[in-house]
Amino acid sequence: MDQILFALLNGTIYGLLLFMVSAGLTLIFGMMGVLNFAHASFYMLGAYFAYTLEPFVGFWFAILLSPIVVMGLGVCVERFILRRVHAFGHAHELLVTFGLAVVIAELVKMVYGNFAVDYRVPAELSFAAFTLSGLDYPIYRLFMGGVAVTMFITIYLLLTRTRVGIVVRSAIYRPQTVEALGHNVPLVFMGVFGIGAGLAGLAGAVAGAFYTTNPNMALELGVMVFVVVVVGGLGSMGGAMAASLLIGITNSLAVGSDLRAVDVLSIVGLGDWAEKSGGLLTISMSSLAATLPFFIMLLVLMLRPSGLMGEKE
Amino acid sequence: MSNPTILSVEGLHAHYGKSHILHGVTFDVARGEVVSLLGRNGSGRSTTLKSIMGLVPPTEGHVRLDGADVAGLRSYTICRRGLGYVPEERETFHNLTVDENLEMGRQRGPSDSAKWTVDQMFTYFPRLKERRNTRAGSLSGGEQQMLTMCRSLLGNPLVMLIDEPTEGLAPKIVTVVGEVIEDINKHGVSVVLVEQKLTIAMRVSHRVCVMGHGQIVFEGTPQELNDRPEITDEWLAV
C-alpha cells in the first residue's frame, strides 16, 4: 500500500514537472501551429544556466535568474530566427526548431562536456518530508510539485483574468482577427514564446538539481512533453495539466508493477494458453511502462483527435 | 457630400499567390458617408476590404486614412489609426465569453473618433446583454454578427469596413443590422459596406460603387444606379 502511495506521489510530481515544460509548448503550438522541437532544449538550458550561476549567486537566485536568461534567449529565437522563416510555412519552422535543438545540444556538450554535471539539491532542502515504511520521501520532490502548482495557478489567472490573457487565448485560435482588432500579434507571439521558454527553463533549473543535468535531458523529456501536448489538446492549459498527471501517474504506477497479462488471463482460466503464447502476454507491466504514454496518445488520437480538452476549431 | 475625404483608395492592386484579384481599385469615402461596394461573388469586394485593412497586403496603390498612407502597414497599426473591420465570416472567438469578445475589441481609437461604450452596444443589441457570460461559440449566427459589429465598434473607428453583415440572417435581424449601421453613421462613423442585399445597401448608402473583375465599374448615388438599369443587368444581376 505504501509502495502504491509512493508511486502515486512520484507520478504526480513527475506529471507536474511534465506540465511545467509542456505549459509553454502547448501555448506556442496553439498559436503558431507548429511544434517547437527546441522547446525541451530550453528546459535543458535552464538546468545548465542554474548550475553555472549557482556558485556565484547561490541556489535560490540561480533558479530565479536562469529562467530569465532562458526567456531572453527564447525571445531572440522567435524574433530573429522563427519570425524570418514564418513566411515560408510550417515545414520550414519545424526544420529550424529541429536544427536549433541539435545546435543547442551540441553547444552544451562542447561547453560542459558529454556527461552529467554536478548540479545538486542544496543542503537546506536535502531532508525527508516524511517517512513511510522506513522510506524517506524527499522534501525537494514536494518543492518541485509546489513550484509547478504555483506556476499553473499563475498562468491560469493570467490567461483568464487579464486583458493580455484574453488576447493570448484569442490569438491561439484566430491570430489574424486579433491583429485586425488592433493587437500587436507579433509582439504577443514573441512574449508567449519567451515566457514559454522561461517556464521550461524554470522547470529545468528546479528539476535539474534533483534528476541529472546532462546533454540528453532535453531528448529524454522532450518526447514525453510532445505526447502531453497532443493528449491534452492544443493550446489547452487544463488539458496539459490533465495529460501531464495522467502520463506521470500511469508511468510511475507501471514502473513499479510486475503485473503481466498472463496473471489477468489466468483468472478466467486462460493462464496456460497465455503462458504458451508468450510475447506481449508474458511481459511485465514495468517493462511496458516506457511505451504506455504512446499507447495513451494513440488511444486519444483515435477517440478524440483534438485531445482531452482541445478547443481548436 | 461636401465633407472632407476620410478614406481614399487609389489604384489598389492585390494578389492571392499568383492570382491577380484587384486591378487598380479607386474610390473615396467622405467623413460621415456610407459607401457600399456592390458586385457579384468574386468581383473583389471582400478582397478590397481585406486589402485596405492590411489582411491581404496590397501589391500596389495607396490607402489614405485621414490623409496618411496606411497601405502595407500591419493590420493592428491600421486598426489603431482608425479603421474597424467586421469580417464576412464573423470570426468571433468561440472560446471566449461575449464580454471577453467585446473586451478584445476595446481600443482608444483616434482622438477625433466617436467613442463607444459596452452599454451602448447592449442598447443596440439587448440580446447580447442577456448572454454576456455565454461563450461566443454557443451564440446563434445573428447574435454572432451583432457581437462582431459591437467588437469592432468598441475600437472607436473613424471608418468601419463591414463585410456582408446580413448574410444568412433572419429578416428581422437584417432590419436591425441595417438600422444599427444607419445609427452609427449618424454618430459620425463612416462606413464601407459590402452587401449582397441590394435593398439594404440602397437604403443605408449615400453612394454605391459597383465592382467587376477587380475594378470599380460604376460609382454614384443609389438613385443614379437606379437610373442605369443596364449597370444592374451587366454587373449585379444573377
Give per-residue pLDDT as tens, A89-138. Answer: 888 988 999 999 999 999 999 999 999 999 999 988 888 888 877 888 89
How far is it, in rounded angstroms, from Cα B236 to Cα A225? 55
pLDDT band at A172 (very low <50, low <70, confident <90, very high): confident
Contact B53 A184 (CB under 8 A): no
Residue of B nearest to A161 (CA): B100
pLDDT at A194: 95
Residues 6+ apart with CB under 8 A from A131: A137
Give the phi and the psi of residue B79 in degrees, each rounded to 5: -60, -45
pLDDT digits (tens, 9 = 90+) for A183-197: 999 999 999 999 999
Considering only the beta carbons, identify the residue of B74, B96, B155 that sits closest to A181.
Answer: B155
Residue B220 forms part of a structural domain: yes
Q: Which residues of B touch A176 (CB under 8 A)?
A: 55, 75
Q: How buried is residue A39: exposed, middle or buried, by Cβ count under 10 Å (0-12/13-18/19+)?
A: buried
Nearest residue in A to B107, CA atom: A182
Nearest-Cα distance to chain A for B136, in Å, is 12
Q: CA B77 to CA B90: how far, in whole Å?
A: 21
The reported pLDDT for the residue numbered B238 is 61
Residue B52, domain extent: 5-89+154-236
Residue B15's DSSP bridge partners are B20
Structural domains in chain B (count): 1
Contacts of A7 (CB under 8 A, 6+ apart): A252, A253, A255, A256
Which residues, listed in sequence order, are joined to residue B69 by a DSSP beta bridge? B64
Question: How far apart are the C-alpha atoms of B88 and B90, rounded to whole Å?
Answer: 5
Domain holding B77: CATH number? 3.40.50.300
Is the model's pLDDT at A287 over the cut of 90?
Answer: no
pLDDT at residue A197, rounded to an integer = 95
- The CATH code of domain A2-257 reads 1.10.3470
Tell me how far apart the alpha carbons of residues A115 and A44 are, in angstroms, rounded to a whole number: 13
In chain A, where the domains are located: 2-257
Residue A260 banded pLDDT, cuts 50, 70, 90? confident
The number of beta carbons lying within 10 Å of the beta carbon of residue B146 is 28
pLDDT reading at A313 higher than 50: no
Residues ≥6 apart with Cβ < 8 Å to A5: A132
Q: What residue type is B28 in one-letter code?
A: D
Q: Left if phi > 0, otherwise alpha if psi is -120 to 50, otherwise beta: which for A43?
A: alpha
Q: Which of B74, B79, B93 sits opposite A170 (nearest CB)?
A: B93
DSSP code of residue A123: G
Taking chain B, what is the end-to-end CA distance rounded to the nearest angstrom? 31
Closest residue in chain A to residue B49, using alpha carbons only? A180
Which residues of chain B, if any, have pLDDT below 50?
1
Q: What is the CA radius of gyration of chain B?
A: 17
DSSP state of A72: H
Q: Tally the C-alpha atoms within 13 A of residue A63's C-alpha that lie toward its C-beta.
A: 18
Q: Quick one: pLDDT band at residue A255, thresholds 50, 70, 90?
A: confident
- Under 8 Å between Cβ of A63 and A204: no
Q: What is the pLDDT of residue A31?
A: 76
Q: Nearest CA of chain A to the CA of B74: how many Å?
A: 8
- Distances from the Cα of B147 to the Cαs of A130, A194, B5, B116, in angstroms? 55, 32, 29, 14
**Residue B59 covered by a domain:** yes
Of B76, B94, B96, the CB nearest to A183: B76
pLDDT digits (tens, 9 = 90+) for A23-76: 889 888 877 777 789 999 999 999 999 999 999 999 999 999 999 999 999 999
Q: Do A178 and B155 touch (CB under 8 A)?
A: no
Q: What is the pLDDT of residue A311?
A: 63
Q: Å from B214 to nearest chain A CA? A: 23
Which three cell numbers, joined as nine digits, stand for A31? Answer: 498559436
Closest chain A residue to B105, measured at CA: A181
Residue A312 has pLDDT above 60, yes or no: no
β-pairing verdict for B60-65 and B68-69: antiparallel
Report the C-alpha gap between A125 and A259 in whole angstroms.
Answer: 35
Other C-beta atoms lying within 10 Å of the C-beta of residue A214: 22
Average pLDDT of chain A? Answer: 90
* A174 chain-B contacts, CB cut-off 8 A: 91, 93
Whole-number percent of chain A with pLDDT over 70: 99
Residue A247 CA to residue B174 CA, distance in Å, equals 51
User: Do the beta carbons of residue A262 and residue A53 sit within 8 Å?
Assistant: no
Q: Quote the crossing angle between the two packed helices A90-112 and A39-76, to the nearest 10°.
A: 100
Q: Write the single-letter amino acid at B195.
A: E
Whole-number pLDDT of residue B167? 87
Compute CA A225 distance to the chain's CA centroid, rounded to the nearest angstrom: 4
Mutual angle of helices A90-112 and A217-232, in 10-degree steps: 150
